Amino acid sequence: MTAFAFEVLVTLKDGLADPQGKAVESALPALGWSNVAHVRVGKHIRLEIDAPDQVAARTQVEEIAERLLSIPVIEDAQVMEVARS
């Protein structure tokens, strides 16, 4: 078994209103940044996993991302392999 590290990025689907992104966006002009638009807020999850190989590790992380880390009705989950710390 080898250890692999992954990052999972969970974001609200395109087209869904993102109240947190909107709050951030509307705070920016007050700080003088009036040229920023389409702010979206998401979640970042980092994890390490023991698996026989890289493909098996990714498959399992994708399942974790879909079953627990995100709710597919409203969120997209992007899985990225990263260097172990």
Partner 1 sequence: MIGPRIGVVTFPGSLDDRDALRAVGQMGGEGVPLWHADADLRGVDAVILPGGFSYGDYLRCGAIARFASVMDQVVAFADHGGPVVGICNGFQVLCEAGLLPGALIRNRSLRFVCRNVWLRIETSQTCLTSALTPGETVQIPIKHGEGQWVATREQLDLVEGDGRVVFRYVSPAGIVDDAHNPNGATNNIAGIRNAAGNVVGLMPHPEHAVDPDVGPEGGQPLFASLLHTAGVTV
Three-state DSSP at 51 gives strand
Minimum distance between the CB of residue 71 and partner 1, rounded to whole angstroms?
5
State which residue, 71 or 80, has the beta carbon closest to partner 1. 71
- Binding residues (CB under 8 A) for partner 1: these are 12, 16-17, 19-20, 23, 68-69, 71, 73-74
Smallest CA-to-CA distance from 7 within 54, 73, 74, 58 is with 58
- The closest alpha carbon to 65, from 3, 8, 11, belongs to 8
In angstroms, the CA 13 to CA 34 distance is: 25
CB of 67 to partner 1, least distance (A): 9
Nearer to partner 1, 19 or 52 (CB): 19
Question: Between residues 44 and 84, which has the closer beta carbon with respect to partner 1?
Answer: 44
User: Dihedral angle at the C-alpha atoms of 72, 24, 8, 17, nearest 10 degrees?
Assistant: 10
Smallest distance, Å, CB 27 to partner 1?
Answer: 11
